[in-house]
Structure 1
Amino acid sequence: MYKCFLFLPSPLAFALVSEDVKKEARQSKNLEKSDISKKNDIDLKEIVFVIQSQSNSFHVKKAEQLKQSILKQSADLTQEMPTVLLLHQLAQQEGAWTILPLLPHFSVTYSRNSSWIFFCEEDTRIQIVQLLETLRRYDPSKEWFLGKALHDEESTIIHHYAFSENPTVFKYPDLAAGWALSIPLVNKLTKRLKSESLKSDFTIDLKHEIALYIWDGGDGLPLTPVPEFCTDIVGSSCATSFQSSLPLCGNPVKKEDIFVAVKTCKKFHGDRIPIVKQTWAGQAGHLEYYSDYADNSIPTVDLGIPNTDRGHCGKTFAILERFLNHSHDKIPWLVIVDDDTLISISRLRHLLSCYDTREPVFLGERYGYGLGTGGYSYVTGGGGMVFSKEAIRRLLASKCRCYSNDAPDDMVLGMCFSGLGIPVTHSPLFHQARPVDYPKDYLSHQVPVSFHKHWNIDPVKVYFTWLAPDEEDRARQQSRRGLREEL
């Protein structure tokens, strides 16, 4: 076959040879894939789906919809149905959302008849046929940690500056694309969890911390990147994708229905407050600046609480009491932010349309403290803390208060709400750090609501790049792409 082409010196001949070689390579690869799939053949009943759900009614509804989608696709394949679990129903313990405390339960309950535990978020979209084909490439009798790989572009405070010499070397999963653990790995991790308690006091970035635990300082397993686990739909081969639009349930909440409280102090009046006014303050229907000094030019409200460097618990509780007891009786939402928080009020209005003000809602970016040994979850303050009036009413009725004015307000609030049985509602659209502290690939499938800190950035530029209102978004769509690359 190839000899006849040796007498054809034209470029066409070489192109034909090249195409034949490529075709044979593809066929060989497909046969190899097919052989692997047959060898690792699994049925749907061997996959345990875990939807990382939350107990708030809006999130329960979304998780149930995903569960029904999985079960319907499975029924269409006329296979035995898989197990589909909702995370918030699995355990009443506070730390269930951190996954690791649940691994012993998965090991005991599912190790005999299952091959994979597949985790996904409420907005993950799953193509069951493609997922089956993808998992069949991996031998389920071996240890596997599968996911869409993210990495830090530079060392970051939210990961305690891990791998500072070369942050790109450590890969961790984008939870939105789904991720999977083989049962042998679940069993191995369970043994480790039983022999040594979880070391970290704080849970800050779940996806990174799970990967660190599994990697175990190099003695464990790194993440295996799976191209079929997607966030964008990049082709028919994607087994998963992610719905990245901003949630909207009916009309956006009116701006007059949100009261915004900015925590500040005299030493930051001159540099931080002007940035608030240049960026997002104009979107707010009700806004007050709370300080340790009354400055009529801003104006600020002196709450009578001295400024402290450590924490602002006294100030925050004074804001909560003022909101509940002074002339804001018809406003259903309170948002408390720092003076160096950048936030999109217009996007927050869209997001809050999905939450019931009759429920006690405590919303923001969720962190955890001491969750391996009881502990509690809390909303980290820098990204913004959102309260329904009902949550504030129950909190203040409980008499749970600061143990000192300079206690960390976000952690005390988390402790109080945990004691009341009111869970934190997590949204990854709130951010405790700057855009540069997150992987570009992670932010690319978000419509962020907030960022925090002005360190080594132009905060006005960051606001108009990432958080500008929807009307401005459309006008700036092209320029934002270029600016994001710069940032």
Structure 2
Amino acid sequence: MTERGGRSVRFLSCFLLSFVPLSSSTHDVTAGGSRKTVDSQVPVHQLIALRDVVFVIQSQRNSYHAQRAEQRRAHIFSQSQSLKQGSPDVVFLHELSEYDGNWGILPALPRLAEGYCPSSSWIFFLEEETVVDLARLLGVLSKFSSGREWFLGRALYDAEATIIHHYAFSDEPAGFGYPDFIAGWALSCPLVKRLADYVKHEPPKSDFTIDLKHEIALYIWEEGRGPALTDVGEFCSELHGSPNTSHCASTVNTYLPSCGNPVEKEDLFVAVKTCQKFHHDRVPVVKKTWAKDAALLEFYSDVTDPAIPTIDLGVPNTERGHCGKTFAVMRRFASGDVTRAPWLLLVDDDTLISLPRLRRLLHCYDPSEAVSVGERYGYGLSQGGYSYITGGGGMVFSREAVQRILSSGCACYSPDAPDDMVLGMCLNTLGLSVTHSPQFHQARPDDYPKEVLIRQSPISFHKHWNVDPVAVYQQWLMDTTEPFQRLLGREFRQEL
């Protein structure tokens, strides 16, 4: 093992030791720049009933994800039969209303408050791979008075101020906790009702939704006027069936989609957007790292450079946006003159990506559907806005999606318009949802909690700023055998 690999394993071992659960007698509560401990040995109230909890699965419209959400709901229902308390309310977030922006949670709160809180006490949010132990969850929630405002979850903390969190709490970034969604998180109905009323006249200050879990925590905390996240040790992000999870009310079925063999190399056409000034620094990094894994790859620039080679589509370079270039690439792909591949990947010249991992992910999706996959951002979600795949982490489109976009008449309002946002507006107009994968990343590894990255087997990162991009690729993206998942105990995984 190389010295780099040795350091990675030693770091991971320390990380696994950090998973020893918090004592059930304490809960860490963060309060914007400071951390305090609250004794959770509050009197245990009468054990709440299953009807007191509404389960909201943070589902997606794509057929694969809808199926996974159905499996999660079935598992909850099967447990409820053994409790003999009737079937609980299990809500798919994507079905709560026609509005596709409900994934931003805040837009969904008024409907949750009105439809469920009059007869329930808690809203418990979970992802499609979150495994819930109903009996333990009821026991955990019974420790907290449902008549008060509670925001419960497994806390994540930033090691340093990060761009994806707008450099919040730069003096003490590790002092603010935000929920690890995959472990599940809960809001008491008094808090849901207040937030539902508040969001109607006081939307988030930023129009952009970038890292939802952090932004939700900020909005709820409201600069100290609202509750901070209470860190609950029984909400766990370890794999279901792994050691030291017997106390857990929630665990994780799998960190990664498992859909069989990867799609063929020839099924993925890769388009790299570049320009002349980056031919000698960024393009060589692409060739030194991930380009070798592509069967079909073209570089698109503002000049023809046979040494690379690059293709000039006749679109002048712009300092930002690059919408004109992106639509020109999509027209070239859709024409069928270059390839009939079912998938198109659009990346920047400073995107780092693992194509083998991407091809494994794509096998979960049906290219005959209008699929767009990547890291999902939102714009103006609390005011009826739209979602989009952020470009730096890589945008993946099925051929059907590309053809639907181009045939709809969607176009750039200017050549330097932000291509990813324009595409998001086009998809929204067409009534097509974007599909989020946490394996794509708009920023650098240092901008994300390490314990989250380790379990993801990342597909992409973006930016060469203050990093050695080759080293980033070698550490996080080059090994396609998913060593992090093996060391985290993937052998304990149980399909549920």
Report the TM-score, using the length of structure 1 for normalisation: 0.89
The residue type equivalent to 1:164 in the other structure is S
1:102 matches 2:108: yes
Residue of structure 1 equivalent to 2:196 = 190
Give 1:305 deviation, angstroms. Answer: 0.8
Runs of 4+ in 1 over 6 A off after TM superposition: 26-29, 32-35, 475-478
The 1:139/1:246 distance shift into structure 2, 3 A limit, reads same
Deviation at 1:76, TM superposition (A): 1.2
Q: Using CA pairs below 8 Å that are at least 6 residues apart, which structure has the higher relative contact order?
A: 2
Counterpart of 1:410 (choices 392, 409, 420) is 420
Q: What displacement does 1:125 show?
A: 1.3
Counterpart in the other structure of 2:48: 42
Partner of 2:162: 156
1:483 aligned partner: none
Could you tell me how far apart the structure 1 residues matched to 2:354 and 2:110 are?
41
Structure 2 contact 457–484 (Cα < 8 Å) conserved: no
**Is the deviation greater in 333-342 or in 122-131?**
122-131
8 Å CA contact 1:262–1:338 kept in 2: the answer is yes
Q: SS at 2:455's partner residue?
A: coil
One-letter amino acid of the structure 2 residue matched with residue 145 of structure 1: F
Indicate yes or no: 2:459 matched with 1:449: yes
Per-residue deviation at 1:269?
A: 0.7
Q: CA deviation at 1:80?
A: 2.3
Q: Equivalent residues in 2 for 1:275-290 (5 A)?
A: 275-290=285-300
Whether 1:385 aligns to 2:395 is yes
Q: Distance in 2 between matches of 1:49 and 1:477?
A: 31
Deviation of 1:33 after TM superposition, in Å, equals 8.4
Q: Which residue among 145, 157, 161 is the counterpart of 2:151?
A: 145
- 1:209 paired with 2:215, answer yes
Provide the C-alpha distance between the structure 1 equivalents of 2:24 and 2:109, rounded to a whole number of angstroms: 40
Letter in 1 for 2:117: S
2:238 pairs with 1:232: yes
Query: What is the Cα deviation at residue 355 of structure 1?
Result: 0.2
Which one-letter code corresponds to 2:245 in the other structure?
A: G
2:405 aligned with 1:395, yes or no? yes
Report how many aligned residue pairs link the two structures: 449
TM-score, structure 2 normalization: 0.87
How far apart in 2 are the matches of 1:296 and 1:312? Answer: 22
In structure 1, the partner of 2:354 is 344
Question: Is 1:365 aligned to 2:375, yes or no?
Answer: yes
CA contact (8 A) 2:455 2:484 kept: no
Whole-Å separation in 1 of the counterparts to 2:485 and 2:372 = 32
The gaps in structure 2 that reach 5 residues or longer are 1-22, 27-38, 488-496
CA offset digits 1:169-226 (Å, max 9, x no partner): 1110011110000001111112212343343211111001100000001111100000
For 1:258-337, list aligned pairs within 5 A: 258-337=268-347
Query: Is the 8 Å Cα contact of residues 265 and 291 (structure 1) preserved in structure 2?
Result: yes
User: Which amino acid is 1:204 matched to?
Assistant: I
CA distance in 1, matches of 2:245, 2:294: 41
Amino acid at match of 1:140: S
Instruction: Give the one of 82, 85, 104 matched to 1:79.
Output: 85
Structure 1 stretch 457-466 or stretch 227-236: which is displaced more? 227-236
Residue 250 of structure 1, CA deviation? 2.6
Rg bigger for which structure? 1
Structure 2 CA distance for partners of 1:27 and 1:469, relative to 1, 3 Å: closer
CA distance in 1, matches of 2:141, 2:390: 36
- Name 2:139's counterpart in structure 1: 133
**What is aligned with 1:171?**
177
Alpha-carbon distance change, 161 to 418 in structure 1, aligned in 2, over 3 angstroms: same
Deviation at 1:102, TM superposition (A): 1.3
Q: What does residue 218 of structure 1 align with? A: 224
Segments of 5+ residues of structure 1 without an aligned counterpart are: 1-25, 479-487
Return the letter of the residue paired with 2:435.
T
CA deviation vs aligned residue, 1:317-350 (integer Å, no higher than 9, x gap) = 0000001114245210000000110100000011
Q: Equivalent residue of 1:60, what SS?
A: helix
| In 2, Cα distance between equivalents of 1:474 and 1:110 | 43
Aligned equivalents of 1:195 and 1:417: distance in 2?
28
Contact 2:57 2:90 in 1 (8 A): yes
Moved more, 236-245 or 72-81: 236-245
Task: Quote how far apart the aligned CAs of 1:242 are.
Answer: 1.9
2:111 partner SS: helix
Q: What CA deviation, in whole Å up to 9, does each residue of 1:292-333 have, x standing for no partner?
A: 011111111111111111210000000000011142452100
The verdict on how the C-alpha distance between 1:424 and 1:41 changes in structure 2, with shifts beyond 3 A counting, is same
Cα 1:386–1:112 shift into 2, 3 Å: same
Aligned position for 2:124: 118
